[in-house]
Amino acid sequence: MTNTSLDDPLPSWTEGKAKRKIIEFVEQVTDESSPHFVAKELRIATFDNDGTLWVEKPLLAQLAFYKWQLFDSGEFDHSEKAAHFFAKLKRLIGDFFDLLRFIGAYIFSGLTTEEYRLAVSKWIKHAHHPRYQQKYTDLTYLPMREVLEYFSQNGFSNYIVSGGTANFIRPWSEDVYKISADRIIGSSTRTRLKIKDGTFSIKIEPIPFSFEYCSGKVLGIERRLAKRPIAAFGNSLGDADMLRWTRTTAHSLCVLIHHTDDVREYKYSPDPFYHLGKSTLSYAAEGNWQVVDMKNDWQQIFAFENESVKDK
């Protein structure tokens, strides 16, 4: 998949502190003679998805998917329901996450989880990013795919912990990240079991169940694994609690991907526009996280520029 060679596990990273720190950490926790050695079953690494493993600008992929499902899939009834929808949309526009949940619930209530995952599969195979004109899965960050592979080669269990819904990521995570469906911890709505004529279907209910964002990331991981990660990667304030929590383990690696490259990608703050309290970068400074400067630390940003990925 990536250019990973035996000599250099992270070839698309510039030589420097960030790369060195990741490699040093992996070497320490896997070396039985090191005081920082960590048993395999405790080598838990958690990764935010949007903005950490793939591009999230100008629009979150999940929102692009909803937009398509709503307006372009031809499967959606635009009538009375739509009028009510747009009225509500106006009121919600100020709160991005309510908006996300609302659109999701509106579109997918009535669908089964399997139908939802199928719709995602269908979309992700053809959808192109408006700027790069590439598939979203090819807009995953090559340096991060190298980290995933390097970690898993070293006995780590990689988990994605996303504010997006788990079922939006599962249809393609195994292919793209080599992370299986059961290792996606993500937001979810309630579901309901419907049994009809011997057919079992699991219907999506338009009621939020869990929201893996800020403290919800910590609670989601703890609920599922009853363990703390020893490594965590994020890019925004929504990941700060997860990274701070990870920092409370004896020896940890906390990495903040900082979007600093307005030429090759986007340049923006880790803090959302509605941010009021402490900034993500001040958490990073306090906790001595490794901040990755995308512009300088990554020689290549996207997977799509990589021939071997194209050929796949």
Binding-site ranges for its own copies (CB under 8 A): 41, 113, 117, 166-167, 170, 180-182, 188, 191-193, 195, 198-200, 202, 209, 215, 218-219, 222-227, 241, 244-245, 248
Cβ of residue 191: shortest distance to its own copies, in angstroms?
5
Q: How far apart are CA 112 and CA 105, in angstroms?
A: 12
Choice between 33 and 248, CB closer to its own copies: 248
Cβ of residue 176: shortest distance to its own copies, in angstroms?
16
DSSP assignment of 149-170: HHHHHTTPEEEEEEEEEHHHHH
Q: Which two tokens stand for residue 192?
A: 């309901």
Choice between 22 and 111, CB closer to its own copies: 111
Choice between 12 and 280, CB closer to its own copies: 280
Choice between 78 and 278, CB closer to its own copies: 278
Cβ of residue 171: shortest distance to its own copies, in angstroms?
9
Radius of gyration of the chain from its Cα atoms, rounded to whole angstroms: 20
Cβ of residue 22: shortest distance to its own copies, in angstroms?
24
The answer to whether 214 and 240 are in contact (CB under 8 A) is yes
Choice between 102 and 159, CB closer to its own copies: 159
Q: Return the bridge partners of 194, or none.
A: 201
Choice between 180 and 296, CB closer to its own copies: 180
Integer angstrom CA distances of residue 8 from 15, 148, 309 = 10, 14, 18
Q: How many CB atoms lie within 10 A of CB 55?
A: 24
Q: How far apart are CA 190 and CA 12, in angstroms?
A: 41
Cβ of residue 61: shortest distance to its own copies, in angstroms?
18
Cβ of residue 219: shortest distance to its own copies, in angstroms?
5
The answer to whether 308 and 279 are in contact (CB under 8 A) is no
Q: Return the bridge partners of 214, or none.
A: none
Question: What helix, strand, coil percent values describe the chain, rounded to 5?
Answer: 45, 20, 35
Q: How many CB atoms lie within 10 A of CB 89?
A: 14
Cβ of residue 245: shortest distance to its own copies, in angstroms?
5
Give φ, ψ of 183 to 5 degrees.
-105, 20
Choice between 42 and 92, CB closer to its own copies: 42
